[in-house]
């Protein structure tokens, strides 16, 4: 039992990333596909009984008629759930697929496992695709920050002198601003309406601008002390090149710090992207992100009338909590952390 | 003290210079200038555009433009809000006052939470009050402010005890202030707890205990040395509060600087957006400076480093 608890954050984080990685295959529908007869539909209920009420090994789902769809107000309708259901062709992992993991057998009755939104789009599909956007952007920004930060930090610590001074003053400026303001400052430079892939890289790069400062500062400090170690000096005395000394005798010792900083940064970046999209500056509405899904659910009428739209918030909470626990585990000791 | 003051002021000035350069660079990076649109209009001749460009100094090199801009900013001219048809400076300072009001309320709540919880956790470290305090700060640190604000909004609706947003009397401050205060308070509680546990084991505190001082007097002795790191964090406080204000003001519709920033970016009101960022950075830099000076007053060792 204790072991499970120990590894739970690891397992849940890995599962979350696998789920969002397989989002196109797992999601029963395209995130933008509308079922116009089923707006604000409550989640389907699943049962192992067929239309006649007989026990069946095949799961069936039942949709309640919502008040907004007069055409189907004659009570509830049922359909079977198919595994490997046929669908419109879509691409995933570089291949074109014609089927998704599960779907409805009756084409006129969509499988709305988590209900539908105001425009009749499947909340589960939007959630999976939105989380895919938000979670992978965090990973991309952390990797880019680590690369840029380690490179610049190592250089500035190793060379010292004016390059180091300039570097540290630049990070000072970025540190003096609230992080979200830096990202918004970069966002001002570009039009609000951007294609999803451009928005993706713009957001990833603007978080890199923030994240690299954290890596650069920590790595610089370590390199400053590591380069005066006897073995590094000795290697230099033997005629090793600067590049060799850095790569062989200094950088390997910073790996641990890089991992810790990366894990600390991950939830912050994911949350930052969600916040940005929530404010309407991230990916733009027809394309889902956890942020704009939460924004759609953030009014009182939606929260009280169709609470299933809040599932994205639940997923965000779970993910951020897990990533934070993971970071705490990796750190081992309580260190200071930056806040939004 | 004066040597310390001088060094610290020099650092701050350098930072301010770089920051203003950074903000101006942002202005400069935005494609096109204010005459680009005119260039495309058939009714304005090319010479006229050139003339206007020379008149406004837009044909000058980057650094000259920068100093012209800096002079205007120092004179309190922050440009014009095209979306709201009024000078940006008036708009920004009006909204800044609202944010400072909310921030002060949040700060007061933070202090009210941090000292009791932090001190009690340290005094009973490892036992249930400490566990409870740790759980509280863990929750406050890992719950996203966005979701906390949404929950608070729902709570206001369901309980009908608080207004759903907007600016008004103290009842309007409580929920947004609390949402802004919680992450900050959780962070500071952790720090204060660790510092207090350290301080309580110092020889002078043990000596005070050995002489039979009451526990409130012992806490007072320990608190003085535990307070230093917290004072240096006061500088961080405004940065965190301003960062948090963006989401909270958006959800509670509080007309502050954060909401202004969001609105101005979405309506492409560039002067307002970038100058709002500049003004809030100034606030953070000066509160950092103030925190360092306070620290130097409280702890003589720092002055002579």
Structural domain boundaries, residue B207? 91-304
Whether B242 and B106 share a structural domain: yes
Q: Compute CA distances A11 → A20, A133, B180, whole Å.
A: 14, 20, 32
- What DSSP string describes B111-141? HHHHHHHHHHHHHTTTSHHHHHHHHHHHHHH
Instruction: Please give the pLDDT value at position B147.
Output: 92
* pLDDT > 60? residue B114: yes
Query: Same structural domain for residues B52 and B102?
Result: no
What is the rounded distance in angstroms from the CA atom of residue A138 to the CA atom of residue A146? 12
Give yes or no for a contact between A120 and A34, defined as CB atoms under 8 angstroms apart: yes
Cβ–Cβ contact A324 with B under 8 A: yes
Whether A181 and B261 lie within 8 Å, measured CB to CB: yes
Residues of B in contact with A281 (CB under 8 A): 262, 265-266
Any A CB within 8 A of B179 CB? no
Between residues 60 and 119 of chain B, which touch chain A (CB distance below 8 Å)? none
Contact A176 B281 (CB under 8 A): yes
Taking CA atoms, A6 is separated from A2, A3, A260, A321, in Å, by 6, 5, 18, 14
User: Quick one: how many helices (H) and strands (E) in chain A?
Assistant: 12, 4
CA distance B228 to chain A (A): 15
The strand pair at A95-104 and A45-49 is best described as: unpaired
Query: Do the Cβ atoms of B266 and A280 come within 8 Å?
Result: yes
Based on the fold, state whether residues B64 and B116 are members of the same structural domain: no
Kindly identify which residue of chain B lies nearest to residue A316, measuring between CA atoms: B144
Residues B220 and B73 in one domain: no
Note the pLDDT of residue A256. Answer: 84
Give me the pLDDT at residue A334, please: 41
Which comes out higher in pLDDT, residue A270 or B141?
Answer: A270
State whether ipTM is beyond 0.85. Answer: no
From the list A170, A181, A280, the residue facing B243 with the nearest CB is A181
pLDDT at position A84 is 85
Tell me what pLDDT residue A130 has: 93
Roughly how many angstroms between the first and final C-alpha of chain B, as a whole number? Answer: 11
- Three-class SS state of A68: coil
B108 and B122 fall within a common domain: yes
pLDDT at res. B304: 59
Contact A178 B142 (CB under 8 A): no
CATH number of B207's domain: 1.10.3720.10
Candidate from A267, A316, A324 with C-beta closest to B147:
A316
Residue in B11, B144, B190, B292 to test binding to A, most A beta-carbons within 10 Å: B144
In chain B, the percentage of residues whose pLDDT exceeds 90 is 14
Does residue B84 share a domain with residue B119?
no
pLDDT of residue B289 exceeding 60, the answer is: yes
B35 and B181 co-located in one domain: no
A180: nearest CB among B142, B191, B243: B243
* Integer CA distances (angstroms), A239 to A156, A232, A242, A245, in order: 21, 11, 9, 10
> Are the beta carbons of A7 and A313 closer than 8 angstroms?
no
Vertex A309 angle, CA A303 and A313, to 5°: 90
Q: Contact B143/A317, CB-based, under 8 Å? A: yes
Q: Say what the pTM is.
A: 0.86
Same domain, B104 and B66: no
- Last residue of some domain: B55, B71, B89? B89
Question: Per-residue pLDDT tens for A296-320?
Answer: 998 888 888 888 999 999 999 999 9
Q: Per residue of chain A (340 residues), what is the pLDDT tens digit?
A: 677 777 888 889 999 999 999 888 988 888 888 888 888 888 888 888 887 778 888 888 888 765 555 554 456 778 888 888 888 888 888 888 888 888 888 888 888 889 888 888 999 999 999 999 999 999 999 999 999 999 999 989 888 888 888 888 888 888 878 888 888 888 888 887 888 888 899 999 999 999 999 999 999 988 888 888 888 888 888 988 888 888 888 888 888 889 889 998 999 999 999 999 999 888 888 889 999 999 999 888 888 888 899 999 999 999 998 898 888 887 764 443 333 3
Residues B136 and B284 in one domain: yes
Cα–Cα dist A326/B137, whole Å: 17
Given CB atoms, is A192 within the 8 Å cutoff of chain B?
yes
Distance from the Cα of residue A10 to its chain's centroid: 16
pLDDT the model gives residue B149: 92
Cα separation of A224 and A226, whole Å? 6
Give CA–CA dist A105/A28, Å, rounded.
Answer: 12
Q: Which of B64, B89, B114 is the last residue of a domain?
A: B89
Answer yes or no: do A181 and B274 touch at CB < 8 A: no
Interface of A with B in 272-311 (CB under 8 A): 274-275, 278-281, 294, 298, 300, 303-304
Residues in Cβ contact with B24 at an 8 Å cutoff, skipping those fewer than 6 apart: B65, B66, B69, B70
Interface A–B counts its CB contacts (< 8 A) at 131
Quickly count: other Cβ atoms within 10 Å of residue A290's Cβ.
Answer: 30
B236 neighbourhood in chain A, CB within 8 Å? 339
Question: Are the C-beta atoms of residues A77 and A62 closer than 8 Å to each other?
Answer: yes
If asked whether residues B212 and B101 sit together in one domain, one would say yes
**Mean pLDDT for the stretch of residues B200-213:** 87
Q: How far apart are alpha carbons A28 and A156 in whole angstroms? A: 50
Backbone angles phi, psi at B125, to 5 degrees: -60, 135
CA distance B264 to chain A (A): 9
> Tokens 């003053």 — which residue?
A169
**For residue B280, what are its two tokens?**
């809030």
Biggest CA pair distance of chain B: 90
Residue B208 sits in the same domain as residue B297: yes
Among B89, B112, B132, the domain boundary falls at B89
- Determine whether the interchain pair B250/A169 forms a contact, defined as Cβ–Cβ distance below 8 Å: no
Name the residue in chain B with its Cα closest to that of A267: B142
B194–chain A Cβ distance below 8 A for any pair: yes
Over the stretch B16-55, which tens digit does the pLDDT of each residue have? 888 888 888 877 777 665 566 666 677 777 787 778 777 7
Whether B100 and B202 map to the same domain: the answer is yes
How many structural domains compose chain B?
A: 2
Query: What residue of A is the nearest CA neighbor of B191?
Result: A336
Residues from chain B that touch A316, judged by Cβ atoms under 8 A, are: 144, 146-147
Chain B residues inside the 8 Å CB shell of A187:
265
Residue A339 pLDDT: 35
pLDDT at res. A335:
43
**What is the per-residue pLDDT across A71-102, written as a single tens digit (0 to 9) for each?**
544 567 788 888 888 888 888 888 888 888 88
Predicted confidence band at B265 (pLDDT cuts at 50, 70, 90)?
A: confident
Query: B247 contacts in A (CB within 8 Å)?
Result: 275, 278-279
pLDDT band of residue B67 (cuts 50, 70, 90) is confident
Note the pLDDT of residue A140: 95
CB nearest to A172's CB, from B15, B141, B184: B15
CB contact under 8 A, B14 and A169: yes
């Amino acid at each position: 039992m204790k072991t499970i608890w120990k590894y739970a954050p690891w397992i849940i984080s890995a599962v979350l990333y696998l789920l969002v990685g397989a989002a196109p295959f797992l999601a029963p529908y395209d995130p933008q596909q509308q079922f116009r007869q089923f707006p604000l539909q409550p989640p389907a209920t699943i049962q192992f009984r067929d239309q006649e009420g007989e026990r069946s090994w095949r799961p069936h789902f039942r949709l309640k008629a919502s008040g907004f769809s007069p055409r189907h107000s004659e009570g509830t309708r049922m359909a079977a759930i198919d595994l490997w259901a046929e669908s419109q062709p879509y691409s995933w992992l570089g291949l074109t697929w014609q089927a998704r993991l599960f779907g409805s057998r009756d084409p006129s009755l969509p499988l709305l496992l988590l209900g539908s939104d105001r425009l009749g789009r499947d909340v589960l599909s939007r959630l999976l695709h939105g989380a895919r956007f938000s979670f992978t952007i965090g990973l991309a920004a952390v990797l880019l920050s680590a690369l840029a930060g380690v490179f610049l930090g190592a250089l500035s610590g190793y060379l010292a002198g004016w390059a180091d001074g300039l570097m540290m003053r630049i990070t000072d400026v970025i540190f003096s601003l609230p992080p979200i303001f830096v990202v918004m400052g970069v966002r001002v430079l570009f039009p609000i309406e951007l294609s999803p892939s451009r928005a993706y890289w713009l957001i990833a790069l603007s978080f890199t601008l923030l994240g690299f400062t954290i890596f650069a500062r920590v790595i610089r400090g370590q390199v400053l002390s590591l380069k005066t170690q006897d073995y590094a000096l000795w290697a230099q005395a033997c005629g090793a090149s600067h590049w060799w000394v850095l790569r062989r005798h200094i950088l390997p010792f910073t790996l641990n710090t890089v991992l810790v900083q990366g894990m600390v940064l991950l939830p912050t970046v994911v949350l930052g992207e969600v916040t940005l999209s929530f404010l309407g500056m991230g990916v733009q509405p027809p394309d889902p992100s956890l942020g704009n899904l939460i924004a759609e659910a953030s009014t009182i009428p939606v929260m009280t009338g169709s609470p299933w739209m809040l599932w994205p918030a639940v997923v965000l909470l779970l993910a951020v909590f897990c990533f934070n626990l993971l970071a705490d585990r990796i750190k081992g000791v309580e260190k200071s952390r930056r806040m939004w | 003290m004066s040597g310390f003051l001088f060094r610290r002021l020099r650092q701050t000035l350098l930072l301010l210079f770089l920051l203003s350069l950074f903000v101006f660079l942002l202005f400069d990076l935005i494609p096109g200038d204010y005459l680009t649109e005119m260039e495309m209009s058939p009714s304005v001749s090319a010479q006229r555009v050139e003339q206007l460009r020379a008149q406004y100094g837009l044909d000058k090199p980057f650094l000259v433009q920068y100093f012209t801009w800096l002079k205007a900013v120092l004179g309190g001219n922050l440009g014009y809000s095209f979306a709201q048809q009024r000078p940006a400076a008036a708009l920004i300072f009006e909204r800044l006052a609202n944010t400072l009001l909310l921030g002060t309320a949040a700060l007061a709540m933070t202090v009210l939470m941090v000292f009791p919880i932090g001190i009690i956790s340290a005094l009973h470290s490892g036992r249930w009050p400490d566990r409870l305090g740790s759980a509280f700060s863990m929750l406050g640190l890992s719950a996203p402010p966005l979701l906390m604000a949404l929950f608070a909004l729902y709570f206001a609706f369901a309980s009908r005890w608080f207004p759903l947003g907007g600016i008004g009397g103290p009842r309007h401050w409580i929920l947004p202030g609390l949402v802004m205060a919680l992450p900050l308070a959780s962070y500071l509680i952790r720090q204060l707890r660790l510092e207090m546990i350290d301080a309580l084991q110092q020889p002078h505190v043990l000596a005070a205990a050995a002489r039979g001082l009451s526990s409130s007097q012992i806490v007072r002795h320990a608190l003085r040395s535990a307070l230093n790191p917290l004072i240096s964090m006061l500088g961080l406080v405004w940065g965190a509060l301003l960062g948090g204000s963006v989401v909270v003001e958006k959800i509670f519709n509080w007309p502050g600087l954060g909401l202004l920033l969001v609105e101005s970016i979405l309506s492409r009101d560039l002067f307002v957006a970038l100058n709002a960022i500049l003004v809030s950075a100034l606030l953070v830099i000066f509160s950092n400076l103030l925190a360092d000076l306070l620290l130097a007053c409280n702890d003589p060792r720092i002055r002579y480093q």
